Amino acid sequence: MTSHLFAITLFPTPVFNTAEIASCFGGETGDALPLDEQGIMRTVETILYSGTLIKLLEKMKQPHIWKIETNEYQYNVEKFLDDRFIQIVDSLPSKRNVKLPSPSAVLKTMLELEKTRYIWGGNWPHGIDLLPNIYPSKSSLHQLDPLINDTWVLRGVDCSGLLHYATNGWTPRNTSSLVNFGQSVDIEGKSISSILEKIQPLDLIVWKGHVVCAIDKHTTIESKLSEGVVKFDSYERLSAIMKERKPANSCTEAAAFVIRRWHPDHLFS
């Protein structure tokens, strides 16, 4: 039987879906990132918060890189990190204590992040200062394009990362889990006006691929690829969604969306 090492993260720690982490920073010019046509670096999976328990599965041939598992990101993809973000421990430590903030605190945090950049895999809007120290650019980051600057340090949030950060990591990290999180709100076959009558603060308008958070019946907030964290009029946002998707009570069809009510203060009040 293989004996695995355990570690805890010392800082906000990026997790990648490739062991070639060093190759993601610099490129041929020393100042480039592997951004796709949408301006996204898709090698990033998530950012683990400080104090996260991880299992070290295998030391890779690349210096400092480990293949890992963690209960805080249980998705079917290979996960790798740099061991300069972690501390290996002799005995199994306790899991990170995750306390869910109040509904008002979650909403306040999300609203404070308005205009934050969209970053794929991002759920630490402050950015990770250690990244450019470990993987430096040839030029000063401040001389580079703002998109490169922010992406290099992963300063921003993606759609589910906005919620994940605001809830202190209490909610599932990806939309593939959020579509089944909490309780379903009955919206199947209903009009926009009928749906809005049912919406409560923090309800999730979600499908596999994107999530929109309700601030109240009149306003939503989300992190969009082209715009970052933005607020919308709820009627207008639902109207746009329903041009492409139909309201459902479960996400069994690709062209459907659901509303999930998840916060205990709402579920049991």
Looking at the predicted structure, is the pLDDT value of residue 65 above 50? Answer: yes
CATH of the domain at 35: 2.30.30.40
Whether residues 88 and 184 share a domain: the answer is no
Joined together, the tokens standing for residue 125 give: 């809007």
Residue 220 pairs in a beta bridge with 214, 232
DSSP state of 188: T
DSSP state of 229: E
pLDDT tens string 135-183: 999 999 999 999 999 999 999 999 999 999 999 999 999 999 999 999 9
Whether residues 184 and 127 share a domain: the answer is no
Question: Does residue 165 lie in a domain region?
Answer: no
End position of a domain, from candidates 138, 160, 182: 160
End position of a domain, from candidates 137, 160, 183: 160
Whether residues 189 and 114 share a domain: the answer is no
Whether residues 97 and 190 share a domain: the answer is no
% the chain with pLDDT above 70: 98
Whether residues 227 and 257 share a domain: the answer is yes
Closest to 223 in 3D by CA, of 235, 214, 215, 231: 231
Residue 3 pLDDT class (50, 70, 90 cuts): low
Question: Does residue 188 lie in a domain region?
Answer: yes
pLDDT tens string 73-117: 999 999 999 999 999 998 777 778 889 999 999 999 999 999 999
β pairing state of 156-157 and 86-89: unpaired
Split into its structural domains, the chain has a count of: 2
The model's pTM is 0.94
Question: Does residue 169 lie in a domain region?
Answer: no
Domain residue limits at 46: 5-160
Question: Does residue 168 lie in a domain region?
Answer: no
Whether residues 145 and 189 share a domain: the answer is no
Residues in Cβ contact with 163 at an 8 Å cutoff, skipping those fewer than 6 apart:
106, 110, 171, 178, 204, 211, 213
Looking at the predicted structure, is the pLDDT value of residue 2 above 60? Answer: no
Residue 209 pLDDT class (50, 70, 90 cuts): very high
Mean pLDDT of the chain: 95
CA distances from 166 to 65, 131, 202 (A): 29, 23, 11
Whether residues 195 and 261 share a domain: the answer is yes
CA distance linking residue 63 with residue 59, whole number of Å: 9
Residue 192 near residue 235, CB atoms below 8 Å: yes
Whether residues 13 and 139 share a domain: the answer is yes
